């Protein structure tokens, strides 16, 4: 039996959940396929810029009730311990994906979204009028629109022959939730910090319930050289005195870290084989810029708007695809370019130290970089 739906969304992260909620509330039938079951942890920095806070609240999220941590300061450290401190003009908040995604999932369920959890999409075909989608259990669905919101990298990318899959992807992401062991913890809960080490950097910020998210990016070579994640953390991350203190004074709340391999920052297209991509599927900003979650939420709003217009017959499919690609590029292409450019200034011990030292005496430059990697508050 073939099931028909107006919109099929592949992936239930932030972009998938927000767009499903928006489109279901607009009166369309929405089916979302997610390979995991809620709630679950994801490798993610768990800091969200305030550019999307008013918009999230219009969706029905009570962020205060979730206990989010309010963040208005930024720290940047070099492996030597040299430290830059700067205010965050726009600011943001910290909340775990475990909590946020579960809350959005419940809202989307209440709006009538049909969730197919613990399932994967094996194939997507387009015949010029509609999509035919096959799941890993053999189920088949048809839809007028398919949104790809499945994250950084998936088997489907290879099936679609996306160009970035042929480019090297040497990065590994590792994430923990941690909690201070004692009251002498000297990391304020209103700070997001970026602590650099050889061939990598580690983001850290408070989330709900007195916990902190610690998420770092490094290379496979770094991991291979030391044989295991704990050995690498001691030998490499521990060279940064701030990270050394964190690893010595925090309780690590996972039995083992969340890990993701083959992270690619190569440019992607927002429309592939007529599928509208959103979130990390459309383009991945370097974690160094700390704004991927806000971009996913903002992108979901954009794709929902153009999809709704198409389903109402206001635009044709070619217009839908052209408008979305243009809207996405206008909003995010420069942010991604700046992120990739800034990332090149970090990783080398001596270069990172020089950059931090320079920025200590150039606060206007720090603010300019922040503005280039963050957007304006979404009007509601």
Interval 321-369: pLDDT, tens: 999 999 999 888 887 787 777 777 777 777 888 878 887 777 776 777 7
Q: What is the 3-state secondary structure (H, E, C) of 241-289?
A: HHHHHHHHHEEECCCCCEEEEEECCCCCCCEECCEEECHHHCCCCCHHH
> How crowded is residue 236: how many other Cβ atoms within 10 Å of its Cβ?
21
Domain parsing of the chain, residue ranges: 2-44+97-167+265-347
Q: Assess contact for 61 and 103: CB atoms under 8 A.
A: yes
CB 164 within 8 A of CB 283: no
* Cα R_g (the chain), whole angstroms: 21
Q: Is the pLDDT of residue 370 over 90?
A: no
Under a CB-based contact definition with an 8 Å cutoff, are residues 153 and 263 in contact? yes
% of the chain residues with pLDDT over 90: 67
Q: What is the DSSP string of 141-198?
A: EEEEEEEE---S--HHHHHTT-GGGGS---EEEEEEEEEESSTT----TTEEEEEEET
pLDDT tens for residues 158-212?
Answer: 888 888 887 777 889 999 999 999 877 888 999 999 999 988 989 999 999 999 9
Quick one: residue 281, left, alpha or beta (phi over 0 = left, psi -120 to 50 = alpha)? alpha
pLDDT tens for 284-321 read: 777 666 688 998 999 999 999 999 999 999 999 999 99
Cβ proximity of 124 and 141 under 8 Å: no
Listed in sequence order, the residues at least 6 apart from 38 whose beta carbon sits closer than 8 Å to its beta carbon are 12, 101, 102, 105, 117
Task: Supply the pLDDT for residue 364.
Answer: 74
**CATH classification (class only), 2-44+97-167+265-347:** alpha beta
What does the pLDDT average to over 49-57? Answer: 94
Three-class secondary structure of residue 349 per DSSP: helix
- What pLDDT is stored for residue 264 in this prediction? 76
The answer to whether the beta carbons of residues 167 and 52 sit under 8 Å apart is: no
Question: What number of other Cβ atoms are within 10 A of residue 355's Cβ?
Answer: 19
> Token pair for residue 79?
């492996």
Residue 372 banded pLDDT, cuts 50, 70, 90: low
Contact 233, 250 (CB under 8 A): no
Q: How many CA atoms lie within 13 A of 352 on its CB side?
A: 23
Single pTM value for the model: 0.92
CA distance 142 to 126: 10
Q: What mean pLDDT, rounded, does the chain reach?
A: 90
pLDDT at 328: 92
Contact 194, 290 (CB under 8 A): yes
Q: Which helix (H) or strand (E) holds 20?
A: helix 14-25
Q: For residues 297 and 15, is the Cβ–Cβ distance under 8 A?
A: yes
pLDDT score of 266 more than 90: no
């Amino acid at each position: 039996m073939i099931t028909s739906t107006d919109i099929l969304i592949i992936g239930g992260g932030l972009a998938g959940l927000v767009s499903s909620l928006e489109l279901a509330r607009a009166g369309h039938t929405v089916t979302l396929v997610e390979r995991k079951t809620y709630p679950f942890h994801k490798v993610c920095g768990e800091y969200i810029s305030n550019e999307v806070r008013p918009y999230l609240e219009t969706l029905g999220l009570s962020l205060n009730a979730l206990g989010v941590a309010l963040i208005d300061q930024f720290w940047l450290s070099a492996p030597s311990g040299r430290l830059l401190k700067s205010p965050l003009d726009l600011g943001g908040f910290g909340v775990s994906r475990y909590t946020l995604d579960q809350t959005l999932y419940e809202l989307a369920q209440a709006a009538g979204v049909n969730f197919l959890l613990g399932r994967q999409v094996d194939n997507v075909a387009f015949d010029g009028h509609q999509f035919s989608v096959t799941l890993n259990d053999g189920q088949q669905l048809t839809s007028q629109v398919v949104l790809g919101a499945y994250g950084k990298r998936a088997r489907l990318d290879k099936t679609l022959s996306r160009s970035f899959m042929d480019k090297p992807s040497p990065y590994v992401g590792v994430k923990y939730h941690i909690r201070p062991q004692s009251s002498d913890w000297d990391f304020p809960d209103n700070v997001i910090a970026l602590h650099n080490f050889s061939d990598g950097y580690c983001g850290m910020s408070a989330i709900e319930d007195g916990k902190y998210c610690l998420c770092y990016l490094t290379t496979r070579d770094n991991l291979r050289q030391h044989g295991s994640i704990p050995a690498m953390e001691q030998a490499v991350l521990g060279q940064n005195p701030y990270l050394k203190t964190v690893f010595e004074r925090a309780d690590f709340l996972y039995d083992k870290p969340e890990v993701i391999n083959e992270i690619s920052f190569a440019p992607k297209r927002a429309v592939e084989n007529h599928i509208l991509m959103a979130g990390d599927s459309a383009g991945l900003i370097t974690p160094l810029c700390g704004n991927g979650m806000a971009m996913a939420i903002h992108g979901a709003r954009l794709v929902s708007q153009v999809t709704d217009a198409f389903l109402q017959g206001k635009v044709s499919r070619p217009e839908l695809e052209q408008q979305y690609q243009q809207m996405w590029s206008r909003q995010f292409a420069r942010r991604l370019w700046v992120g990739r450019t800034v990332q090149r200034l970090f990783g080398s011990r001596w270069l990172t130290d020089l950059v931090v030292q320079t920025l200590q005496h150039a606060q206007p430059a720090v603010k300019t970089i922040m503005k280039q990697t963050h957007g304006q508050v979404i009007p509601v």
